[in-house]
Every structure is written in structure tokens, then in C-alpha cells.
Amino acid sequence: MKKIEAIIRKTKFEDVKKGLHQIGIDYLTFWDVRGVGKSVEERVYRGVKYDTSSIERTMVSFIVRDKFVDSCIVSIRENAFTGEIGDGRIFIYEVLDAYRIRTGDSGDRSLYDEE
């Protein structure tokens, strides 16, 4: 099993979610995050300077069976792509085990309902 985390543009979240749903990934967690990127910008609005180097993004996180990792990466890359700096990052982590609290299922059987 693998944990996939993707930091993407907030404007691309719905596209990424739809793309993952189309390949069978129906369960995921997401939250708004802020980060600091390479570029530092200041904008002036009505004579007041604002630091815009803190970038708003969405973090998407989910666990999948090993056989789905490649299709998930392709889906995220295709749906989060704009071609501009700041499209985001994808991270893959090894998951040692998982347990479903309700049934006691463990391993990758705990990830999906197969009843």
C-alpha cells in the first residue's frame, strides 16, 4: 500500500477529484494549506504593500493499493497541470499496514468495501 499526497492549486482541486473518481479513487482527504515558494512578490493595493509570497494550495491525501499508484499519479498530473510555476508536487509514502475499525480487516482489504 502507498500513501499519496499531492499539493495542488486550489483552482484545480475539482478537476483532480473528478479525475481520481474516474479511476476508482472515491475516498480522499483534503485541506487548504499555505506554503512559501521560490518567488517573492509584493503587491501594492491602495498604497499598501502586501507580501504575496505565501501561496494558497490544497493538499490531497489518500491510501491506495500498489497497483493503483501509477494511474493515480497520471491522473493527478493531467488534471493539476497548467504549465506554470507552482503547479504543485506529488509525494508517495510506503504504508506498513492499515486496519478498518468496524470490521477488523487489515492490510489492503481494509481500504475498500468488498461486501
- Note the pLDDT tens digit of each residue in 4-19: 999 999 999 999 999 9
Q: Is residue 79 part of a domain?
A: yes
29-82 pLDDT tens trace: 999 998 876 666 667 777 777 666 677 899 999 999 999 999 999 999 999 999
DSSP letter, residue 66: G
Provide the domain limits for residue 106.
2-110
Close Cβ partners of 16 (under 8 Å, ≥ 6 residues apart): 6, 8, 60, 75, 76, 79, 80
Q: Is residue 76 part of a domain?
A: yes
- How many structural domains does the chain have? 1
- Residue 30 sits in a domain whose CATH number is 3.30.70.120
- Kindly report the pTM of this predicted structure: 0.84
Q: Is residue 115 part of a domain?
A: no
